Structures are given as C-alpha cells and as structure tokens.
Amino acid sequence: MSNNSKLKLLQAIGDRVQAYQDATDEMDEAVARALDVNRTDLRCLSVLSRLGTVTAGELAAMAGVTRGAMTTALDRLERAGHAKRLWGAADRRSVRVELTDDARKRIWAMYGPLAEEGAKRLQKYTRPELAAVLRYLEEGRTLQRAQAERIRQSLGPAARPPSAPSSRRP
C-alpha cells in the first residue's frame, strides 16, 4: 500500500468515525426523548444497563458527575420509574442503584434491535478483524477519555467531575 493510499484510508476512517459518533449521538438523543430523560440521566441508565447494580458513588464516577449531581439525577430517575435505590441493611449510608424491570424492558425495546443487528454484522468479520476492531474501540475510548480530561483540566477545578474508573466492559 502506498503512503498516499494509506493516507486516504486514514482520512476515510476519520470521516467515518465522526459520522459514526454523530449517528450514535442521534440514536442516544432519540432514546433520551423517548424515556423523557436528559443526556446525563441517559449516561446513568447506560452504566446501569451495562453493569447492573452499582453503588451511587460508582455510578457518579462512571457518569462523570459529582455526588451531589448524582443525588439529583437519581431523584429524577426514581421519579420517572427508571431506577431504584437499594439501601444497605448494615449501613443505611450505603446505597446501591439498579434499573427497574420496566426501564430494562423499555431500554431493550429501543437498543435491542440495534444490538441484534450489530451482532449479525459482526459475525461477517474474521477473528483477526474482530480483534482489530476491539483494539481500535478500546484505544479510541481511552483516547476520548484522556482528551475529555485534558479539556476539563484547561477549564479549571470547577469543571472537573470525579475521575471515572476504567471501563468494566467485557
């Protein structure tokens, strides 16, 4: 492959990544509207959908919000019937959060067809291609988070949410 054709391929990939991110944003906006939540709440629902039950502190860190903002988001999500708090029996200050059954069903009704069609399309790839896709996605996630942190750092302390732990996705 010549340097010129590699450069064109890299430019095409960059263009497709941006288009993919725009399409993802469009999908997430449609789901947020259907669930009548804001984008922060949708991020919380995404974490809960992916990981199951987590502590309120873990959820705040993974959603990139302060603990105070998390309390407000959880209040909204509970009122909407999307999430529920589970108070610790031994320590009432300990709070775990999980999706309600209704929320899980509604989320699957919207994202399920996308996941199923995506899985069908991925079946067409070879193992080495899938490994390359996985590596690219993980490197991209790491890069995105690092650049978000760089921007937050440039805005000063007030713009910095708590550090998010690394992804626990399989």
Q: Do residues 42 and 35 lie in contact, with contact meaning Cβ atoms separated by under 8 Å?
A: yes
Query: Residues of the chain with pLDDT > 70: what percent?
Result: 91
Spell out the domain ranges in the chain: 3-124
pLDDT tens-digit map of 66-102 = 989 999 999 999 999 999 999 877 766 788 999 999 9
**What is the architecture of the domain spanning 3-124?**
Orthogonal Bundle (1.10)
pTM: 0.81
pLDDT tens-digit map of 122-136 = 999 999 999 999 999
Residue 85: CB atoms within 10 Å: 14
118: CB partners within 8 A, 6+ apart: none
